[in-house]
Structure 1
Amino acid sequence: MKTADIRQRWLDFFGERGHTVVPSASLVSEDPTVMFTIAGMVPFIPYLTGLIPAPYPRATSVQKCIRTNDIEEVGKTPRHGTFFQMNGNFSFGDYFKKEAIGFAWELLTTPEADGGYGFDDKDLWVTVYKDDDEAISLWKTIAGLPDERIQRLDKDTNYWSTGHPGPAGPCSEIFFDRGPSYGIDGGPATDDDRYVEIWNLVFMQYAIENVRSKTEFDIVGELPSKNIDTGMGLERVAFLKQGVENMYEIDQVRPVLDRAAELSGRRYGADHEDDVRMRVIADHVRSSLMLMSDGVTPSNEGRGYILRRLLRRSVRAMRLLGVDGATFPELFTASRDAMSPSYPEVERDFARISQAAYGEEETFLRTLAAGTTILDLAVDNSKKAGNDVLAGDTAFLLHDTYGFPIDLTLEIADEAGLRVDRSAFDTLMAEQKQRAKADAKNKKSHVADLSVYSTFRALGETHFTGYTELTTESRVLGIIVDGAPVTFASEGQKAEVILAETALYAESGGQDADKGQIVGDGFELTVLDVQRPVKGLISHTVSVASGVVSVDATATTIVDGDYRRGARQAHSGTHVIHAALRQILGPNAHQSGSYNKAGYLRLDFSWNQSLSRETLTEIEEISNNAIRDNLEVVTREMPLDEAKELGAMALFGEKYGDVVRVVDIGGPWSRELCAGTHVATSSEIGMINLVNESSVGSTNRRVESLVGLEAFEDLAAERAIVRELTSSLKTPREQLPARIADLVAGLKQAEKKIKEYEARALAERVPSLVDKANRVGGYRVVAESLGEAASADDLRSLVMSVRDRLGSEPAVVALAGAVSGRPVIIVATNAAARDAGARAGQLVRTAASVLGGGGGGKDDLAQGGGQEVSAIPSALSAVIDGLKG
Structure 2
Amino acid sequence: MEKLGLNEIREKYLSFFESKGHLRLPSFSLVPQNDKSLLLINAGMAPLKPYFTGQETPPRKRVTTCQKCIRTPDIESVGKTARHGTYFEMLGNFSFGDYFKNEATSWAWEFCTEVLKLPVDKLWVTIYQDDDEAFDIWTKKVGVAPDRIVRMGKEDNFWEIGQGPCGPCSEIYFDRGEENGCGKPDCKVGCECDRYVEFWNLVFTQFDKDENGNYNRLAHPNIDTGMGLERLACIMQGVSNIFEVDTVRNIMKKVSEIANVKYGDSDRTDVSLRVITDHIRSTTFMISDGVKIANEGRGYVLKRLLRRAARHGKLLGINEPFLYKVCDTVIEENKSAYPELVSKKDYIKKTIELEEISFARTVDEGMAILDTYTAELKEKGEDTLSGEKAFKLSDTYGFPIDLTVEILEEGGFKVDVDGFNKNVEIQRTRSRDAIKDADVLGWKDELLEKFATLPKPEFVGYETLECDAEVLGIFKDNDFVDSASAGDSVTVVVSKTPFYGEGGGQVGDTGVITTENGSIEVVDAKKLRDGRIILACKVSEGNVLKGENCHCTVDKARRKSIAANHSATHLLQEALREVVGDHVEQAGSYVNDERLRFDFSHYEAVKPEELEKVEKIVNEKIFEALDITCAEMPVEEAKKLGAMALFGEKYGNIVRVVKMGDFSVEFCGGTHAKNTADIGIFKILSESGIAAGTRRIEAATSLGVLKYLEEKEHIINETAKALKSNPSEIAHKAAAVTEELKQTKNELSKLKAEMAKSGADDLVKNAVEKDGIKIVSAVLEDVDIDAMRTMGDNIKSQIGDGAAVLASSTGDKVTLFVTATKSAVARGMHCGNIVKEAAVIVGGRGGGRPDFAQAGGKDKANIAKAVEKAVEIALGQIK
Q: TM-score range by the shorter chain?
A: 0.7 to 0.9
> Once the 2 structures are TM-superposed, how far is the Cα of residue 511 of structure 1 from its aligned partner?
1.7
Structure 2 Cα separation of the partners of residues 136 and 632 of structure 1:
61
1:93-108 map, 5 Å: none
* Among 305, 329, 333, the residue aligned to 1:334: 329
Secondary structure class of the residue paired with 2:536: strand
Q: Is the 8 A contact 2:465 2:556 kept in 1?
A: yes
Query: Who is 1:113 aligned against?
Result: none
Structure 2 Cα separation of the partners of residues 311 and 834 of structure 1:
40
Secondary structure class of the residue paired with 1:668: coil
Structure 2 Cα separation of the partners of residues 53 and 567 of structure 1:
34
Aligned letter for 2:273?
A: M
> Once the 2 structures are TM-superposed, how far is the Cα of residue 542 of structure 1 from its aligned partner?
3.8
Structure 2 Cα separation of the partners of residues 849 and 827 of structure 1:
15
Structure 1 Cα separation of the partners of residues 620 and 138 of structure 2:
78
* Among 73, 78, 83, the residue aligned to 1:74: 78
Query: Who is 1:261 aligned against?
Result: 256
Aligned letter for 2:78?
A: V
Secondary structure class of the residue paired with 1:75: coil
Q: Is the 8 A contact 2:839 2:846 kept in 1?
A: no
Query: Who is 1:177 aligned against?
Result: 177
Matched, 1:616 2:617: no
* Among 692, 701, 706, the residue aligned to 1:698: 692
> Once the 2 structures are TM-superposed, how far is the Cα of residue 574 of structure 1 from its aligned partner?
1.8
Matched, 1:633 2:628: yes
Distance 1:504 1:342, change over 3 A: closer
* Among 43, 46, 68, the residue aligned to 1:38: 43
In the alignment, structure 1 segments of 5+ residues that lack a partner are: 109-115
* Among 766, 790, 793, the residue aligned to 1:797: 790
**Residue-by-residue CA offset, 1:790-820 (whole Å, 9 max, x unaligned):** 4244245335534653577xx8977776645
Aligned letter for 2:509?
A: D
Matched, 1:284 2:279: yes
Structure 2 Cα separation of the partners of residues 13 and 520 of structure 1:
59
Query: Who is 1:713 aligned against?
Result: 707
Matched, 1:421 2:427: no
Secondary structure class of the residue paired with 1:461: coil
Structure 1 Cα separation of the partners of residues 774 and 238 of structure 2:
83
**Residue-by-residue CA offset, 1:578-616 (whole Å, 9 max, x unaligned):** 222223234321222111212211101122121110000
In the alignment, structure 2 segments of 5+ residues that lack a partner are: none
Structure 1 Cα separation of the partners of residues 774 and 18 of structure 2:
103
1:795-834 map, 5 Å: 795-798=788-791, 801-802=794-795, 804-805=797-798, 819-820=810-811
1:104-253 map, 5 Å: 124=122, 154-155=152-153, 168=168, 173-177=173-177, 179=179, 187-188=187-188, 191=191, 193=193, 195-197=195-197, 235-236=230-231, 238-239=233-234, 246-253=241-248
Structure 2 Cα separation of the partners of residues 528 and 44 of structure 1:
37
Query: Who is 1:530 aligned against?
Result: 525
Structure 1 Cα separation of the partners of residues 863 and 61 of structure 2:
95
* Among 679, 688, 708, the residue aligned to 2:673: 679
Q: Is the 8 A contact 2:506 2:592 kept in 1?
A: yes
**Residue-by-residue CA offset, 1:677-709 (whole Å, 9 max, x unaligned):** 333322232222212111122222111112222
Aligned letter for 1:197?
A: V
Query: Who is 1:602 aligned against?
Result: 597
Distance 1:99 1:586, change over 3 A: closer
Q: Is the 8 A contact 2:447 2:478 kept in 1?
A: no
Q: Is the 8 A contact 2:476 2:489 kept in 1?
A: yes
Structure 2 Cα separation of the partners of residues 232 and 782 of structure 1:
77
> Once the 2 structures are TM-superposed, how far is the Cα of residue 673 of structure 1 from its aligned partner?
2.9
Query: Who is 1:753 aligned against?
Result: 747
Aligned letter for 2:675?
A: T
Structure 2 Cα separation of the partners of residues 716 and 696 of structure 1:
28
Structure 1 Cα separation of the partners of residues 216 and 547 of structure 2:
59
Distance 1:330 1:407, change over 3 A: same
Matched, 1:432 2:415: no
Aligned letter for 2:5?
A: A
Question: Greater shift after overlay, 246-255 or 232-241?
Answer: 232-241
Two-structure CA RMSD over aligned residues (Å): 6.0
Structure 2 Cα separation of the partners of residues 661 and 137 of structure 1:
47
Secondary structure class of the residue paired with 1:794: helix
* Among 555, 566, 577, the residue aligned to 2:572: 577
Bigger Rg, structure 1 or 2: 1
Aligned letter for 2:568?
A: G
Secondary structure class of the residue paired with 2:246: coil
1:844-855 map, 5 Å: none
Structure 1 Cα separation of the partners of residues 107 and 562 of structure 2:
66
> Once the 2 structures are TM-superposed, how far is the Cα of residue 439 of structure 1 from its aligned partner?
1.5
Query: Who is 1:11 aligned against?
Result: 12
Aligned letter for 1:616?
A: L
Aligned letter for 2:177?
A: D
**Residue-by-residue CA offset, 1:812-851 (whole Å, 9 max, x unaligned):** 977776645877676888899999999999999999999x
TM-score by length of 2: 0.76
Structure 2 Cα separation of the partners of residues 552 and 127 of structure 1:
63
Matched, 1:763 2:757: yes
Between the two proteins, the alignment pairs up a number of residues equal to: 857
**Residue-by-residue CA offset, 1:179-230 (whole Å, 9 max, x unaligned):** 38986787546946452527669798x9899999xxx99999xx99999999
Structure 2 Cα separation of the partners of residues 782 and 218 of structure 1:
87
Q: Is the 8 A contact 1:158 1:172 kept in 2?
A: no
Q: Is the 8 A contact 1:823 1:867 kept in 2?
A: yes
Question: Greater shift after overlay, 553-562 or 327-336?
Answer: 553-562
Structure 2 Cα separation of the partners of residues 362 and 846 of structure 1:
35
Structure 2 Cα separation of the partners of residues 96 and 651 of structure 1:
35
Structure 2 Cα separation of the partners of residues 96 and 821 of structure 1:
79
> Once the 2 structures are TM-superposed, how far is the Cα of residue 619 of structure 1 from its aligned partner?
0.8
Structure 2 Cα separation of the partners of residues 582 and 251 of structure 1:
34
Structure 2 Cα separation of the partners of residues 226 and 834 of structure 1:
80
* Among 491, 507, 515, the residue aligned to 1:512: 507
Structure 2 Cα separation of the partners of residues 838 and 127 of structure 1:
76
Structure 1 Cα separation of the partners of residues 790 and 186 of structure 2:
83
Identity between Structure 1 and Structure 2 (%): 31
Distance 1:367 1:106, change over 3 A: same
Q: Is the 8 A contact 1:792 1:819 kept in 2?
A: no
